[in-house]
Amino acid sequence: MDKTGTIRLEKENFEFPIIEGTEGERALDTRTLRSKTGCITFDEGYGNTGSCLSDITFIDGENGILRHRGYPIEELAANSSFLETAMLAIYGELPHKSCLNAFRQHVRRNASIHTGMHSHFDGFPSSAHPMAILSSMLNSLGAYYPGMSTNNREQDLAHFDETAALLISKVRTIAAMTYRMKMGMPFVYPADMSYTGNFLHMMFSEPYRQYVDDHGAAKALDLFLMLHADHEQNCSTSTVRMVASGGANLFASVSAGVCALWGPSHGGANMAVIQMLEEIHAAGDDGSRFIEAAKKGEAKLMGFGHRVYKNYDPRARILGKSAESVLESVGIKDPLLDIARKLEQAALEDDYFVSRKLYPNVDFYSGIILKAIGIPVEMFTVMFAIGRMPGWIANWKEIAENPKSRIHRPRQIYTGKTLREYVPIDKR
Ligand code: SDX
């Protein structure tokens, strides 16, 4: 017998089906709520609202569990790679060796950017934020692939594999070109290298000297990107789904995702954490003022807290360990790591954070790794976007392939002025 839930409004009971996911999560199916009761739900921030059914990622926030297509993030971090995890998120299975190699070649072949786009960078001031450039360039990219950005679902899906590989490859090239433009340096053309090796080459090689990765930077960056690959219905992924739900192509959808990721409450936090740690280091204090400010409600402790995790973010645990090994292989002792560790300990011993179940999230340690690799702080959120690209693509695909998917159009409760007559200007 199908399970149902009852809502009682005034003197009447209304039954609604209960949807149960494969991990036992339950939802009251309120798709007929308004037609049956005349009422809507109100859930500002959507903390209690499911926007979709999805097979890609499962998070158990209470227990700090994250799985992509059933595989625990800890196992993927220990055994997989960014491109393999990207394929898993997008296509649903760990790829056979031949498929992964073909995908790798596909990505390598797509590393260059149409020379027509090189001049687009001239249109930005060198002070432009890299996320503004990235979002614009991703949307412009669609103009060079009209057959893949038709906004006709069937046509766009027919080219999906090509578009997915192209976006995963070129988001990295655009990021590196953005950095070079901002630094006033010539673009470095992609080479026949690994995904992250090529990125570091395009970022840091010079016409007279090839970048040499002699300290495991490519490997550390691959882990960083893998840990950011997908995270169910976060702000930016929900934005991608929102845009996709209107039938927009993948380029437009991920371009919107970049904008949603930019803010300090979301992907922008990784930059804010490093800025906070550097401020503490410069002041030579213990950073307790940031904890006090958080407790007074004056500011959030950046890199802490999460809408879903009410336990340690498993990615933060892995990144915290990776930060130590990256610093060791780079041969630098970054005081920011010690500061972060002490700040974490102080917060996790403070009732304000403990009572609200606020733990370090993915952004708390990630910047220390990027800094050790030599990525400038201003590029940190762009790095998050490169990592999240597969997740955005996978979520766009879920919407595009679902013939029953509906445009995302939430309701509201109007609280403005009630009916009134227009007043001619000379009578106001
Ligand atoms: C990411 O959603 C995802 O999956 C995102 C992400 C992904 O992979 O896509 O995981 C990536 O965006 C991680 C989060 C990065 N942002 C930050 O580190 C910024 C700092 N964190 C906060 O802004 C906040 O924790 C959010 C935005 C992450 C979550 O906000 P919520 O869900 O609205 O917070 P909440 O309702 O759970 O807060 C409960 C209480 C509130 O206090 P009270 O009203 O109960 O007194 O905890 C407080 C909040 O004010 N609180 C914090 C805090 N986070 C929540 N207080 C101080 N510092 C914080 N960081």
DSSP letters, 78-129, are: HH--HHHHHHHHHHSSPPPHHHHHHHHHHHHHT-S--HHHHGGGGGS-TTS-
Among 302, 306, 359, residue to substitute to test ligand 1 (most atoms within 8 Å of Cβ)? 306
Say which DSSP state 266 is in: T
Residue 1 has pLDDT above 60, yes or no: no
| 8 Å CB contact between 111 and 190 | yes
Give residue-wise pLDDT tens across range 34-51. 999 999 999 999 999 999
Is the CB–ligand 1 distance for residue 249 below 6 Å?
A: no
Percentage of the residues of the chain whose pLDDT score is greater than 90: 99
Give residue-wise pLDDT tens across range 139-158. 999 999 999 999 999 999 99
Q: What is the mean pLDDT of residues 22-26?
A: 97
Give residue-wise pLDDT tens across range 290-309. 999 999 999 999 999 999 99
Distance 304 CA to ligand 1 centre (A): 7
Report the distance separating Cα 321 and Cα 241, nearest Å: 33
Environment class of 7 (CB within 10 Å of its CB; exposed 0-12, middle 13-18, buried 19+): middle
How many other β-carbons are positioned within 10 Å of the β-carbon of residue 232? 17
Q: Which residue has a Cα nearest atom 4 of ligand 1? A: 234
Percentage of the residues of the chain whose pLDDT score is greater than 70: 100
Is the CB–ligand 1 distance for residue 361 below 6 Å?
A: yes
Provide the pairing of β-strand 26-28 with 12-20: antiparallel
Q: Could you tell me which of 361, 349, 155 has the C-alpha nearest to residue 269?
A: 361
Token couple for 174: 């655009």
Give the phi and the psi of residue 114 in degrees, each rounded to 5.
Answer: -50, 130
pLDDT averaged over every residue in the chain: 97
Give residue-wise pLDDT tens across range 239-253. 999 999 999 999 999
Report the distance separating Cα 293 and Cα 298, nearest Å: 5
Per DSSP, the three-state class of 159 is coil
| 8 Å CB contact between 259 and 135 | yes
pLDDT score recorded for residue 204: 98
Contacts of 7 (CB under 8 A, 6+ apart): 13, 14, 16, 28, 33, 37
Among 300, 364, 392, residue to substitute to test ligand 1 (most atoms within 8 Å of Cβ)? 300
Q: Which residue has a Cα nearest atom 30 of ligand 1? A: 307
Is the CB–ligand 1 distance for residue 266 below 6 Å?
A: yes
pLDDT score recorded for residue 2: 73
Report the distance separating Cα 333 and Cα 343, nearest Å: 17
pLDDT band at residue 341 using 50, 70 and 90 as cut-offs: very high
Residue 364, beta-bridge partner list: none
What is the value of pTM for the model shown?
A: 0.97
Contacts of 250 (CB under 8 A, 6+ apart): 142, 148, 149, 156, 160, 163, 164, 167, 244, 393, 396
Catalytic site residues? Answer: 306, 363
pLDDT score recorded for residue 77: 98
Distance 306 CA to ligand 1 centre (A): 4
Report the distance separating Cα 395 and Cα 233, nearest Å: 9
Q: What is the mean pLDDT of residues 338-360?
A: 97
Token couple for 265: 């409450």
